[in-house]
Structure 1
Amino acid sequence: MDFHQLKQELLEYGAEVNIQKIGFASADTFDTLKQRLLVQQSLGYHSGFEKGSVEERTTPTKLLPKAQSIISIAIAYPSRMKDAPKSRKGDRRGFFARASWGKDYHDVLREKLRLLEEFLHEKVDGVATKAVVDTGELHDRAVAERAGVGFVGKNCALITEEYGSYVYLGELITNIPFEPDQPVEDGCGDCNICVDACPTDALVQGGQLNASRCIAFQTLTKSFLPDEFRSKLGNRIYGCDTCQLVCPKNKGMDFHLHEELEPDPELVKPRLIPLLTISNREFKDKFGYMAGSWRGKKPLQRNAIIALAHYRDETAVDTLNDLMHKDPRPVIRGTAAWAIGKIGTEEAKELIETAMEKETDEDVLIEMEKGLALTKQESAM
């Protein structure tokens, strides 16, 4: 079979089904990546959300035994929204990172990969394929870089010439010996803007991320947010875009090519106070189709409480006080107590001390003490 011709036909079909970029890579083991991942693990820089072992993440034949090539795809997503609602005093809003705008990108990518699989199965007898998105084992940025889709920048994002880093990535492992494309040269040069701009110094150096310090990672955790990150969170509810927003390669990059990826402004910039009391059913109905919902509502509500403290929103105190007394989740009760102290209204001290009289959870009591300490700071100012 003429695999060169098949490659061209696949590229044409990919354009027809609205895939922005397709590249082809060998299925050889990712030896350099393997060593880098082992170093990351030894330094404790991994997030814990990674799927599979280092071997599985760097050895395509572990996922498809007769793998000969990998097809890497990229679809572009928007970086700006129309008619974005304003966050105003008394009506404060949070923010979901751009990677959570619109329909969950995992579903969008899987559908595109399914179409490519069907195309190949119609063209080639005995073809074997394995689709992978970023919740799978394979390291999609490394695949995309090898396939010439773009280069991995100092912000650890895959940067394309045409769409910047505002692209979602997926890959299709196959037993077809497609000719690999040429990798793209690193385009960061001496630029170090993203490393300098990272709010928590999570970018240890260009291309190396301490995931446990990344704000995007911290917004996903379900326990109390460490104190050092609370002042850095701002109004982020899910994810962090800082290292993409400051990247010169992303200047002017804003593509609206997939209707299903268009943001609902009221959902990606949600009102903070209503988010605190939303039911499980309401949360699933409103936010369930978004990528940012996968950890459930608890981390998002904790982040919303911290955002209200960031704004020092006095109109939130009644709701926070109710949560501090009645919410069954210690993380929410404790964070609410801390936030009341941070907002620092005249009654804050009394509200916290009243709640402390019946509180039994040690971690919550620690947060209440922090809240009381904050009220003393406010009164001394």
Structure 2
Amino acid sequence: MDYDQLKQDIIDYSKTIGIDKIGFTTASTFEEMRIRLIKQQELNYQSGFEEKDIEKRVNPSLLLDQPKSIISIALAYPSKMKERVTSKKGARRGIFCRASWGTDYHVVLRDRLSKLEKYIMERVPDALCKSMVDTGELVDRAVAQRAGVGWSAKNCAIITPEFGSYVYLGEMITNLPLSPDTPMEDQCGECNKCIDACPTGALIQGGQLDAQRCIAFQTQTKGFLAEEFREKLGNRIYGCDTCQTICPKNKGMDFHNHIEMEPDPEIAKPLLVPLLTISNKEFKEKYGHISGSWRGKKPIQRNAIIALAHFKEESAVTDIIGVMKNDPRPVIRGTAAWALGKIGGSESKQALVAISNSETDPEVLQEMQDALAHLSS
């Protein structure tokens, strides 16, 4: 078997199935990443969503028998909408981050990896392959960096020269001995714009993230949002793009290479008020195909209430009062109370006083009392 020719054939085939960039690396252990992950764990910087076994995240031999290589792929996604909708008084809108525009990227990348696997198996029937996207064990960024797809940037993203950091990553471990590509050198230099711009200071230093403080992580939690994060949320209802949009390497980067990734403006930037009372069925029908729906509607609804407070949207007061009075979930009722305190007005104050008399949940009651105190002051 001429493995150099096979590698070139894989590269050529990848271009025919919509893979924008491909790189190859060895299946050796990611020693530097192990050190970083241990440090993350010691500092309690991890999100809790990732694989908990650090060895599985850095050692490919625990995931596939006698691996020889890892193939890293990248697909570029849009940074701008072709059609735009406007958020205005009386019709305020929230925003899903760019990584949640279009069809769930897990689905799109698994499709490309599945086609790539099929091609490899046709060429080498006894080949072993294991593919993964984001929720797999390996650290996508570590694989992509070592495979020469891009460099690991200070904003904790992979930046490619061709597409900036607006790329989805996936990888395939295989027992085929494919020659590795050269890792890409860091090109961030002295630039610290992403670190300076992070709304919550989650980027502790170049390449280190306190996920617990990251707005993107906070938008996905299901409990009450801490006050400091409510104030920073703005109109984000899922994810955060600040460290990408501020990056000079992303200037002018906007690619529309994949129809599945094209955003529907009414979904990517939805009206906020209708989200407050959307049913589970309606939510799944409208948003179920995007990655931002994976935690269900509760975090999205909580964030939508906070966004309305951010806008001080007086026209939404009646709807928020309805939520505070009727929603069965304490987090949603309590967040609605907080929002009324922020928006203000006599209608908000009267509702807080009246409904607090029948509220039994202690956390919700505290939110109501805090909101009333805020209005009084």
Deviations 1:43-101 (CA, angstroms, capped at 9, x unpaired): 01000000241010011111112111000000000000022110000100000000000
Superposed displacement of residue 350, structure 1: 1.6
Matching residue of 1:359? 359
Superposed displacement of residue 148, structure 1: 0.2
Identity of aligned residues (%): 62
Matching residue of 1:165? 165
Superposed displacement of residue 347, structure 1: 2.4
Asked whether the 8 Å contact 2:321–2:348 carries over to 1, the reply is: no
Q: 2-side partners of 1:298 and 1:49: how far apart? A: 17
Deviations 1:236-288 (CA, angstroms, capped at 9, x unpaired): 01000000000000000000000010000000100000011111000000000
Matching residue of 1:371? 371
Matching residue of 1:235? 235
Q: 1-side partners of 2:281 and 2:18: how far apart? A: 34
Q: 2-side partners of 1:291 and 1:79: how far apart? A: 16
Q: 2-side partners of 1:358 and 1:285: how far apart? A: 34
Superposed displacement of residue 348, structure 1: 1.8
3-state SS, counterpart of residue 277 of structure 2: coil
Q: Which amino acid aligns with 1:172?
A: M
Q: 2-side partners of 1:370 and 1:152: how far apart? A: 43
Matching residue of 1:109? 109
Q: 2-side partners of 1:350 and 1:284: how far apart? A: 35
The count of residues paired between Structure 1 and Structure 2 equals 377
Matching residue of 1:269? 269
Q: Which amino acid aligns with 1:243?
A: C
Q: Which residues of 2 match residues 221-300 of structure 1 at below 5 A?
A: 221-300=221-300
Q: Which residues of 2 match residues 107-186 of structure 1 at below 5 A?
A: 107-186=107-186
3-state SS, counterpart of residue 45 of structure 2: coil
Q: 2-side partners of 1:250 and 1:260: how far apart? A: 22
Q: Which amino acid aligns with 2:255?
A: F
Deviations 1:97-138 (CA, angstroms, capped at 9, x unpaired): 000000000000000000110011000131000001101111
TM-score under structure 1 normalisation? 0.98
Matching residue of 1:69? 69
Asked whether the 8 Å contact 2:40–2:46 carries over to 1, the reply is: yes
Q: Which amino acid aligns with 1:231?
A: E
Matching residue of 1:338? 338
Q: 2-side partners of 1:52 and 1:122: how far apart? A: 35
Q: 2-side partners of 1:328 and 1:82: how far apart? A: 39
Structure 1 residue ranges (4+ consecutive) displaced by more than 4 angstroms after TM superposition:
none
3-state SS, counterpart of residue 370 of structure 1: helix
Q: 2-side partners of 1:370 and 1:120: how far apart? A: 61
3-state SS, counterpart of residue 156 of structure 2: coil
TM-score under structure 2 normalisation? 0.99
Asked whether the 8 Å contact 1:212–1:218 carries over to 2, the reply is: yes
3-state SS, counterpart of residue 162 of structure 1: coil
Asked whether the 8 Å contact 1:348–1:375 carries over to 2, the reply is: no
3-state SS, counterpart of residue 135 of structure 1: coil
Matching residue of 1:32? 32
Using the TM superposition, name which of 283-292 and 123-132 deviates more.
123-132
CA RMSD of aligned residues (A): 0.7
Structure 1 runs not aligned, ≥5 long? none
Matching residue of 2:93? 93
Q: 2-side partners of 1:366 and 1:51: how far apart? A: 36
